């Protein structure tokens, strides 16, 4: 979010379907993050998860600084809800299929966030394509 805050409107609105810009990456990461909180929380409580987060592909036309800020606020709210509801003794046997890593438990889903953020942000830094 610090990178979005420091970016120009042109930088936020740059990109396309095959080569995402900063705004598209931010939207994608925030949408996936919210989904991961939901999935990890349900798995920790031993609830079944029928499907993963999907792979959101935000069109550049739908990206705005205000929209990113709203998604960021929702992600913060979801993190607070997730942390408050996470059981003291989570179920680590319940799993759900991740699109890249296969079946993961609640902690596995949370750990994917680190590499997911890193992959997209490193691609942006290197100037290489970042899209699904």
DSSP character string of 49-69: --S--------GGG--HHHHH
Cα–Cα separations (whole angstroms), residue 27 to 20, 39, 67, 92, 93: 10, 18, 8, 29, 31
Q: What are phi and psi of 92, to 5 degrees?
A: -100, 0
Average pLDDT, the chain: 92
Report if residue 105 sits inside a domain. Answer: yes
Q: Is residue 132 part of a domain?
A: no
- What is the domain range of residue 52? 2-126
16-41 pLDDT per residue, tens: 888 889 999 999 999 999 999 999 99
Q: Is the pTM of this model over 0.85?
A: yes
Question: Residue 9 domain-assigned?
Answer: yes
Domains: count for the chain: 1
**Residue 106 banded pLDDT, cuts 50, 70, 90:** very high
Q: Domain for residue 47, yes or no?
A: yes
User: Do the domain assignments include residue 131?
Assistant: no
CATH code of the domain in which 64 resides: 1.20.120.450
């Amino acid at each position: 979010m610090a990178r979005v805050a420091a970016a120009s409107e042109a930088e936020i609105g740059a990109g396309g379907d095959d080569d995402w810009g900063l705004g598209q990456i931010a939207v994608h990461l925030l949408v996936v993050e919210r989904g991961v909180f939901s999935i990890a929380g349900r798995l920790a409580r031993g609830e079944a998860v029928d499907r993963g987060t999907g792979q959101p592909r935000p069109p550049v036309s739908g990206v705005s600084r205000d929209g990113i800020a709203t998604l960021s606020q929702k992600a913060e709210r979801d993190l607070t809800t997730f942390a408050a509801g996470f059981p003291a003794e989570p179920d680590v046997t319940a799993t759900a299929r991740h699109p890249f890593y296969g079946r993961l438990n609640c902690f596995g889903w949370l750990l994917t966030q680190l590499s997911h953020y890193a992959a997209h942000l490193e691609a942006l830094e290197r100037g290489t394509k970042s899209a699904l």
